[in-house]
Structure 1
């Protein structure tokens, strides 16, 4: 018999390497997204694995109510959080607090993999469900971002 943390989250949740919790395939054009920890409530955490096959990343934005944590698994990533710049490699992590503008991009060669966690989940799972349907990076439409608890602030980081 398995006990639950709550009615929404099982006590044990195993997702195999390279797999999505729901067995789905989600794409952002230059990368794939696998949900690792997802929940029907907006108050729990949401964690995804983002695998990059080409350089690039999302547009500059901020989250109204979510802290966003990044953990580099493979490759090299460039970040800007507020006015600070960081270059992260495997094993490095970074917290982008809510209300602070941030932007990031995969800048390495070959492949990049990163874990991204949102605390609390808010509407981030719904955002990724919506934008991955087009298999392209999220649109530069402020209303799409605002509807999911974010503010679109500028273009993605330029990468060479």
Structure 2
């Protein structure tokens, strides 16, 4: 009787899990790889324009993980600058401070982060950050990868300062929504 109950639970459970939106995607086919310190995968150094003048090195691409996640190392060169308050509707972000000091807002809460601190920014919650120190470095993990890699590449290719309307449009084209100004340091 126990075997029959087990088989019945498997027969009904597997289709339910398969239909669930929370199932894991298969990893992208291929081999493991190493990305050396100071290097960026696929794009080399992504030199941002527009929001700030930081440099991003892609360490793990969404293309490597079938869209599961992307990891960047950000070299921060923009004291007192950061992102506008914005929302990712389909992505969570994790920042880990390797060096320097940053000020973050997540929802209504504000946090000062220093070397060794990390912060979780859940999807659908407005958030922003500003670099406080003269220099800094963070890792940024995005899950799922979404269009953030393409967003950074688009910012790096800018040839002029964007108007607020144009910046709103570039965020929207990459599944993000600006909902407020950049975060001022208190």
Paired residue for 1:119? 143
Q: Which has the higher strand share?
A: 1
Bigger helix fraction? 2
1:71-110 equivalence runs, <5 A = 71-109=96-134
Distance 2:88 2:122 in 1: 8
Which deviates further from its counterpart, 36-45 or 116-125?
36-45
Whether the 8 Å CA contact 1:26–1:32 is kept in 2: the answer is yes
1:132 maps to 156
Separation of aligned partners in 2, 1:21 and 1:84: 34
Larger Rg computed on CA atoms: 2
Q: What value does the CA root-mean-square deviation take over the aligned residues?
A: 2.5
Equivalent residue for 1:18? Answer: 38
Listed as ranges, the gaps of 5+ residues in structure 1 are none
Instruction: Find the residue that maps to 1:125 and give its secondary structure.
Output: helix
Q: Is it true that 1:39 corresponds to 2:70 in the alignment?
A: no
TM-score with structure 2 setting the length: 0.74
SS in 1 for 2:137: strand
SS for the counterpart of 2:41 is: coil
CA distance in 2: counterparts of 1:136 and 1:98, whole angstroms: 30
Runs (4+) of structure 1 moved beyond 3 Å?
135-140
Q: Please give the secondary structure, in 2, of the residue aligned with 1:43.
A: coil
Alignment partners' CA distance in 1, 2:58 and 2:110: 27
